[in-house]
Structure 1
């Protein structure tokens, strides 16, 4: 299947909710409710033609899905091109139904064709590690190295959250207080260079479970939007997730990221969440994000083990 529409996305999120409820440490990279919403909505216009997907069901209940990104070339926000020559797979199975993983890997071979194939398994999922190894995958030592771009997954309970403290003159806002253009600029300033557009944000805002009152920002005394974060609340599992979190490059090291997260956690708890999730770079040589999240009480529950299967 090609076009991944909002109905397909909701099926993926439905399975994510099931896994979050029983074994959150088995959520695969980019397969949480919030990661799925963010990744699908912001990339839809640029990448949808390069996506392939498939579902597996038990009756009418999804028990597994696969979402492949085929090789592509797109224009970055700074006018340069970003070319991806490998295929990449995001996938999820229900903890009680791990069997479809073998079919997922066969399907991925078929749709990816004769290119290198990438995917991740979780450090907590020994069964999946064995399955991908039997299918010809090996640990990607470059991506998974101490300075690689691998991701760790973190969790924090929300029973006790310290009060946020902002520098004098700074204040908290939500997306209800700013225009689409201003919110996009806040993101682009935090993630330069970024191809994020107003059309992409508008699609994000139409994607469940986005809420404008949980899209939080920090405004500097001069009016600059100095930090931004989106909180994705899943009321069914009482779980909220930060994705993304970023600070304007000219306002870093002032405690804004810490204050924004604490403020966001208070809002999430008031909206009904019992726990908070966030993903970040986990490599020891890239400690900034991990230390930021550790500083507000997050702790790792699992990490990606990047895998590669070379063509030929």
Structure 2
């Protein structure tokens, strides 16, 4: 077995080549018991800007050109607190040792470190427990899954999208990039999300971090496919909603992430219709399952209800832990 080597990446934007290599690592071991889908890697990496304080370390087999076995990406989460995104290939013979190394490095950036795991990620859960991690209360996410084929591998009949008169769902075009970004930003404005979750905005919320450069980085990743980048077109020709899908050929699994509707077109079933079409597209290109990961707690139940109405069922949930002082 080749030795492992730890490589610290430059802060800020992650090179696309490393994003793709981490997505490959997630694909090698992905199953419903793993928190990170390859599509999660591609989408989340694009959200960081050049001046972000994100720090990353990856562990590779053999040397820097070898397969990625584990990673930790750490960024500030408040005074004295950092958030760590940690992944370890649970099938690797040295998974326990890699988990210990990743957690140890993650804890070196702030007095306290938060990290979120899936309740089925046994290797990381055991490592966090051994390190004295304390589970935290608060919002959590559910992993909802639907089968796209039956036990014989035959495609299952899927719901057809149902839209109000004059609306249609289709793939985005190249000349709609700026408008698509603006629909996402309006859909995911932090103040709006607070209101949807029953909270009162304080007026200090920043805008969505998504931008045209971020969208360009999304489209530059190996996993991006334009036929899975769907938009809902309103009767006046403008974009009203978006839904992005990711397909991993190795596991033949699809991920829906993210979905949003412009506030002026809300409550018309557009997000549900876009997701229904996205599931059909995933099935068409060979996916056997489709996954989505909305909030699962009672604080923001609307998205999970939407996905359950499409036949998606819970298979796991997240748990958040705190390591260190505080």
TM range (shorter): 0.7 to 0.9
SS of corresponding position for 2:310? coil
State the alpha-carbon separation in 2 of the partners of residues 84 and 308 from structure 1. Answer: 14
TM-superposed CA distance for 1:306, in Å, is 0.2
Mapped contact 1:64–1:91 kept (Cα < 8 A): no
TM-superposed CA distance for 1:178, in Å, is 4.3
Mapped contact 2:184–2:210 kept (Cα < 8 A): yes
State the alpha-carbon separation in 2 of the partners of residues 217 and 136 from structure 1. Answer: 45
Q: Pick one of 258, 261, 271 that aligns with 1:244.
A: 258
State the alpha-carbon separation in 2 of the partners of residues 203 and 84 from structure 1. Answer: 30
Mapped contact 2:187–2:262 kept (Cα < 8 A): yes
Q: What is residue 115 of structure 1 aligned with on the other side? A: 111
Task: Give the stretch that moved more between structures: 161-170 or 116-125.
Answer: 116-125
TM-score under structure 2 normalisation?
Answer: 0.82
- Please tell me whether residue 129 in structure 1 is matched to residue 125 in structure 2: yes
Mapped contact 1:152–1:303 kept (Cα < 8 A): yes
TM-superposed CA distance for 1:127, in Å, is 4.3
State the alpha-carbon separation in 2 of the partners of residues 181 and 84 from structure 1. Answer: 35
Mapped contact 2:74–2:106 kept (Cα < 8 A): no
State the alpha-carbon separation in 2 of the partners of residues 61 and 95 from structure 1. Answer: 17
Q: What is residue 270 of structure 1 aligned with on the other side? A: 284
Q: How does 1:1-312 map to 2 (within 5 A)?
A: 1-3=8-10, 4-20=14-30, 24-28=31-35, 31-47=36-52, 49-57=53-61, 62=67, 64-71=69-76, 86-97=81-92, 98-99=95-96, 100-110=98-108, 112=109, 114-141=110-137, 143=138, 148=139, 150-158=140-148, 159-176=156-173, 178-192=175-189, 193-311=207-325
Mapped contact 1:26–1:95 kept (Cα < 8 A): no
TM-superposed CA distance for 1:2, in Å, is 2.9
CA RMSD in angstroms, aligned pairs only = 2.1
Mapped contact 1:2–1:53 kept (Cα < 8 A): yes
SS of corresponding position for 1:296? coil
State the alpha-carbon separation in 2 of the partners of residues 71 and 291 from structure 1. Answer: 32
State the alpha-carbon separation in 2 of the partners of residues 196 and 12 from structure 1. Answer: 21
State the alpha-carbon separation in 2 of the partners of residues 84 and 204 from structure 1. Answer: 30
Change in 2 beyond 3 A, CA 1:62/1:68: same
TM-superposed CA distance for 1:68, in Å, is 2.2
Aligned residues: 288
- Summarize deviations over 1:48-101 as a string: whole Å, max 9, x none: x422222142787646312222327xxxxxxxxxx6752111122223233111
Mapped contact 2:184–2:260 kept (Cα < 8 A): yes
State the alpha-carbon separation in 1 of the partners of residues 238 and 75 from structure 2. Answer: 38
TM-score under structure 1 normalisation?
Answer: 0.85
TM-superposed CA distance for 1:252, in Å, is 1.8
SS of corresponding position for 1:12? helix
TM-superposed CA distance for 1:271, in Å, is 1.6
Change in 2 beyond 3 A, CA 1:58/1:237: farther
State the alpha-carbon separation in 2 of the partners of residues 85 and 35 from structure 1. Answer: 27
Q: What is residue 153 of structure 2 aligned with on the other side? A: none
Change in 2 beyond 3 A, CA 1:71/1:210: same
Stretches of structure 1 lacking an aligned partner (at least 5 in a row): 73-82
Mapped contact 1:176–1:213 kept (Cα < 8 A): no
